[in-house]
Amino acid sequence: DGGITQSPKYLFRKEGQNVTLSCEQNLNHDAMYWYRQDPGQGLRLIYYSQIVNDFQKGDIAEGYSVSREKKESFPLTVTSAQKNPTAFYLCASSNFYNEQFFGPGTRLTVL
């Protein structure tokens, strides 16, 4: 089955620690995205990538970093510079019509 997978489902971060969220897709989509969702809020764009080895900052990129070494993979690192990282993180990829398909999400909590 084609789809997007994210891991882990739950992640706990200690102060000063960097953590990496995984996102993999087998839909053969060129474009991939990372969003952050806070309780009761809509989605805010962190980073997006339209092609391998290229990515762009979204509205809230500070404290986050990404890489796009393979078409299928778009990992997100939450660095210690992100002071309030507790949120639900959603990865997506898009088709020709820019319809975005979302992974199941990673819930990150700061201890």
Partner 1 sequence: ELKVEQNPLFLSMQEGKNYTIYCNYSTTSDRLYWYRQDPGKSLESLFVLLSNGAVKQEGRLMASLDTKARLSTLHITAAVHDLSATYFCAVDISQAGTALIFGKGTTLSVSS
The contact set with partner 1 (CB under 8 A) reads 31, 33, 41-43, 45, 48, 50, 56, 58, 90, 92, 94, 97-105
Give me the least distance between CB of 67 and partner 1, in Å please. 18
Give me the least distance between CB of 16 and partner 1, in Å please. 29
Q: For residue 36, what are the CA distances in angstroms to 53, 88, 96?
A: 22, 6, 23
Separation CA 94–CA 86 (nearest Å): 26
Separation CA 111–CA 91 (nearest Å): 23
Residue owning tokens 């084609």: 2
Give me the least distance between CB of 48 and partner 1, in Å please. 5
Task: Decide whether 17 or 95 has the Cβ nearer to partner 1.
Answer: 95
Task: Decide whether 66 or 90 has the Cβ nearer to partner 1.
Answer: 90
Phi, psi (deg, nearest 5) at residue 77: -105, 125
Task: Decide whether 55 or 78 has the Cβ nearer to partner 1.
Answer: 55
